[in-house]
Amino acid sequence: TVQLDNGTQENRNAGRTLHRGIEYGLKWNITDELKWRLSGTNAFHQFVEYEESAQDLSGQKMSQAPSWIANSELSYQPDWLENFRVSLEWQHVDPYFTDNANIRQYPGYDIFNARCGYSFKDFDLWVNVMNVANELYATVVRSTPWGDNYNAGEPRTLTLGVGYNFKNKNSQE
């Protein structure tokens, strides 16, 4: 999609791009009770041959393309309290350009989430606190000639939940 001078967009073959990267997931059982995981992607996205609104952007990084995105979680499930779990999650997005000319940049963000849950019989109860520090952040930022557009991230959010496992009570266990 190419943005035209009047602000509208149209699809056209605008040139060639280069995309290189790696996606990964790591898990480490530190102990039987304490577990850590990391998943992420390190990537590079560049215009090889690209023209937009009569401007040659060849060699520029693509907009909305952070070089590193990561999600990590440290979980604790104590042996002394069966079916209980608690975890702290980290979400990271590196800085990225918000325009194809690489003039404007969004600094990225780091947010933390906390989760706690307990299962008993066929029930599952949980409490989640998302964006624990109540950080102001945007999930996506795009720059246009008329200004920046932000998709705001959620403020601190508390969720409570109850789940029930409906299984066939007539089957023999």
- pLDDT tens sequence across 145-172: 888 999 999 999 999 999 998 886 665 5
* Nearest CA-CA partner of 139 in 84, 76, 89, 96: 96
Q: What pLDDT digit, counting tens, does each position of 89-139 carry?
A: 999 999 999 998 999 999 999 999 999 999 998 999 999 999 999 999 999
Q: What pLDDT digit, counting tens, does each position of 66-81 carry?
A: 999 999 999 999 999 9
Average the pLDDT over each of 11-15, 53-57, 82-86, 120-124 and give the range with the smallest value.
11-15
What pLDDT does residue 2 have? 72
Which own/partner pairs from 124-128 qualify as long-range (CB within 8 Å, at least 24 positions apart)? 124/161, 124/162, 124/163, 124/164, 124/165, 125/161, 125/162, 125/163, 126/159, 126/160, 126/161, 126/163, 127/158, 127/159, 127/160, 127/161, 128/157, 128/158, 128/159, 128/161
- pTM (2 d.p.): 0.82
